[in-house]
Amino acid sequence: MNKEETTQDSQESAKQTPLETKERFSLVKYVKNSYKELKKVKWPTRKDAIRSTGIVIIFSVLVAGFLGVLDYGFNQGLTYLISLT
């Protein structure tokens, strides 16, 4: 295939709609393929899931506490600045 043929083929394929170049979407096929993929997933053990959940909860509480202290500090500082006027 030479350069002209390649250019012509790419121009023709650009004119086609996505449904002409690809297979039509099928919900049933999508669900079947999704189910097959989910069977390949290595799911975490119960122990791993509980450990990960605990880490996320602890980290979330720590971040919330930090942001709460930061908010309180800014609130106090702003209140002090407003009282100066």
Nearest of 72, 68, 52 to residue 80 by alpha carbon: 72
With respect to residue 10, please indicate whether it lies within any of the assigned structural domains. Answer: no
Contacts of residue 13, defined as CB under 8 A and 6 or more positions apart, other chains included, come to 21
Question: Does the pTM exceed 0.85?
Answer: no
With respect to residue 58, please indicate whether it lies within any of the assigned structural domains. Answer: yes
Task: Compute the distance between CA of residue 46 and CA of residue 40 in angstroms, rounded to an integer.
Answer: 18
With respect to residue 74, please indicate whether it lies within any of the assigned structural domains. Answer: yes
User: Above 90 in pLDDT, residue 73?
Assistant: yes
| Angstrom distances, CA of residue 21 to CA of 43, 67, 73 | 36, 52, 60
pLDDT tens sequence across 4-62: 555 555 555 555 555 555 667 788 999 999 999 999 999 999 999 999 999 999 999 99
Place of tokens 């942001």: 67
* Count of domains for the chain: 1
With respect to residue 12, please indicate whether it lies within any of the assigned structural domains. Answer: no
With respect to residue 18, please indicate whether it lies within any of the assigned structural domains. Answer: no
Q: Which domain holds residue 64?
A: 43-85
- Give me the pLDDT at residue 26, please: 87
User: Above 90 in pLDDT, residue 70?
Assistant: yes
Task: Compute the distance between CA of residue 85 and CA of residue 3 in angstroms, rounded to an integer.
Answer: 77
